[in-house]
């Protein structure tokens, strides 16, 4: 856990639970293990402070006044926010929590929770958050490179991806083979790739 003055750069464990004793217990446990923790007593308060650029995970209570944990999960999904989440549940909430896993939650823990199990789950969640952040950075870099292409170069690239040969691309677009070759060279240069395999990997990443 790297210290930083910028909240978006610091790995954070968010706790959302209306029970102050649970929040304090979780915070104490996690901070004692070196994690940066922020806790909130409602889903609404969490949403007011959460920045989706953060590398973070979420420990979320199922039953809360106002927006409950299930509704918060639905809201985040609707916003295409994939923060790794585990639910803290009472015994009667277990079937409900299982259903949350079908919607992407990584796990759930029952009250009273096991400290060792919680630490393992938090580290697994932050590991996923790091991978997600890395993938997003790579996707953004690929998007910026692809945006450099002209309209004609994008047409040529689409056909390269489809496995068309230079002669076929020339026939498709009504241009000469030499012009296709020139476009291919420009595409490779603009996208900073040396092989067709690298070209395909970058171009297809935009579709994944």
User: Percent of the chain at pLDDT above 90?
Assistant: 43
Compute the CA torsion angle 174, 199, 80, 124 (nearest 10 deg).
170
Q: Would you say 96 and 60 are in contact if contact means Cβ atoms under 8 Å apart?
A: no
The larger pLDDT score, comparing residue 16 to residue 112, is at 16
Residue 2 lies in a domain: no
Residue 7 lies in a domain: no
Regarding whether 127 and 37 lie in a shared domain, the answer is yes
Enter the DSSP assignment of 92.
G
Candidate from 24-28, 45-49, 64-68, 199-203 with smallest mean pLDDT: 199-203
Q: Domain with 161 in it: what CATH number?
A: 1.10.10.10
Those residues whose C-beta lies under 8 Å from the C-beta of residue 52, and which sit 6 or more positions away, are 79, 81, 83
Band (pLDDT 50/70/90 cuts) for residue 167 is very high
Regarding whether 91 and 187 lie in a shared domain, the answer is no
Residue 195 lies in a domain: yes
Q: b/e per residue, 38-63, with b = 16+ CB within 10 A?
A: bbbbbbeebbeebeeebbbbbbbbbb
Helix-strand-coil split of the chain, %, nearest 5: 55, 10, 30
This model's pTM is above 0.85 = no
Task: Write out the residue range of the structural domain in which residue 166 sits.
Answer: 148-205
Provide the domain count of the chain: 2
Q: Is 29 helix (H, G, I), strand (E, B) or coil?
A: helix
Last residue of a domain, one of 136, 168, 196: 136
Burial of 25 (0-12, 13-18, 19+ CB in 10 A): middle
Residue 57 lies in a domain: yes
Regarding whether 92 and 159 lie in a shared domain, the answer is no
Regarding whether 171 and 78 lie in a shared domain, the answer is no
The larger pLDDT score, comparing residue 101 to residue 186, is at 186
User: How close are the terminal C-alpha atoms of the chain, in Å?
Assistant: 30
Which residue in the block uniquely carries the two structure tokens 């217990």?
25
């Amino acid at each position: 856990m790297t210290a930083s003055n910028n909240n978006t750069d610091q790995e954070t464990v968010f706790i959302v639970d209306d029970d102050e004793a649970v929040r304090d217990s979780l915070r104490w446990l996690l901070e004692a293990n070196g994690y940066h923790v922020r806790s909130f007593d409602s889903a609404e308060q969490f949403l007011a402070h959460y920045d989706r650029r953060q590398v973070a995970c979420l420990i979320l209570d199922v039953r809360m006044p106002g927006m409950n944990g299930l509704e918060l999960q639905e809201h985040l999904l609707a916003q295409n926010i994939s923060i790794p989440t585990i639910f803290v549940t009472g015994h009667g909430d277990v079937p409900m929590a299982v259903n949350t896993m079908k919607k992407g939650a990584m796990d759930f823990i029952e009250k009273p929770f096991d400290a060792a199990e919680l630490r393992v789950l938090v580290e697994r969640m932050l590991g996923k958050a790091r991978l997600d952040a890395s993938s997003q950075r790579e996707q953004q870099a690929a998007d910026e490179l692809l945006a450099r292409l002209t309209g004609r170069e994008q047409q040529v690239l689409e056909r390269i991806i489809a496995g068309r040969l230079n002669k076929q691309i020339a026939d498709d677009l009504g241009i000469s083979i030499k012009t296709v070759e020139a476009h291919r060279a420009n595409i490779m240069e603009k996208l900073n790739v040396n092989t067709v395999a690298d070209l395909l990997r970058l171009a297809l990443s935009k579709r994944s």
